[in-house]
Structure 1
């Protein structure tokens, strides 16, 4: 794990809030001059701490879509079966996030489809592909309470 100091943490917090801020504004915000601040940003990028800079798009203002959370349990837990499932999920544009979990549940997927029919066709394809899916549970999202954006965990202290 990369050792970060208070300036690095301050940079990350500032860029999470506004990834488009200028070099001079970032430097002023973290109380460093421009060159050292920007060198730190480049180091954080090179180390893979900063993965990229994105636009946060409110897609619900553009298209109507169904958001679904799916719990998946596989029937077989060989490395090959899990890898085949994970590779398929990575290639699926419908899947916006997928986490491997423990305690009897193998994966939790976040899926976005045009509608419920699109979602069911997607799941039917996964089932037909022999991915060792034993069972899945579908939860339709009725309201987004907090969007999954990059946030600085509250316990990260720039000490």
Structure 2
């Protein structure tokens, strides 16, 4: 794991909020000259900490859609069963996120579809493909309450003390 200092964390926080910031402005905001700031940025990218730069799209301003969370339970729990399901889920662009979870279910999926019928067709495809889906539970999002672009970095990462 790459050891981060307070400047690295500040770079990450700024980029998380303003991904299109110029490198010179980023350097100014973290109180570095351009070259050392650029080196830190390259190090964060090469370490896989910064995984990309993208635009956030207000989908509701473009097209009607539905966001659904699906809790999925597999029939069997061998490594190959999980791999088959994960490969199948990876082939569907409508599945925008999928997490393997512990507890009562095996996976939680976030799905964005044109409408409930399109969502059900996706589920039917998974069932027809015999990917081991035993049961699923559908949770339709009625209202987004919070979506944070911020990561709680200061709460998650121990910053080095001045003695280190």
TM-score range, shorter chain: over 0.9
**Gap regions ≥5 residues in structure 2:** none
Note if 1:45 corresponds to 2:19. Answer: no
Q: Does 1:152 align with 2:151?
A: yes
**Cross-structure match for 1:35:** 35
For the pair 1:74 / 2:74, whether they are aligned, the reply is yes
The alignment partner of 1:134 has SS state of: strand
Residue 114, structure 1, aligned to residue 105, structure 2: no
Moved over 3 A (4+): 156-159
Deviation string, structure 1 residues 107-143 (Cα, Å, up to 9, x no partner) = 0000111111111111011011111111000011000
Deviation at 1:147, TM superposition (A): 2.4
Which ranges of structure 1 fall in alignment gaps of 5 or more residues? none
In structure 2, the partner of 1:60 is: 60
Match of 2:9 in 1: 9
What's the C-alpha RMSD, in Å, of the aligned pairs? 1.2
| TM-score for the superposition, normalised by structure 2 | 0.92
TM-score by length of 1: 0.95
**How far 1:148 sits from its partner (Å)?**
5.6
- The count of residues paired between Structure 1 and Structure 2 equals 158
Q: 1:78 & 1:156 partners in 2: Cα distance? A: 33
Q: Distance in 2 between matches of 1:56 and 1:106?
A: 29
Structure 2 residue matching 1:126: 3-state secondary structure: helix
- The secondary structure found in structure 1 opposite 2:51 is coil
What do the CA deviations read for 1:43-78 (whole angstroms, capped 9, x no partner)? 111111100100111111001001100000101011
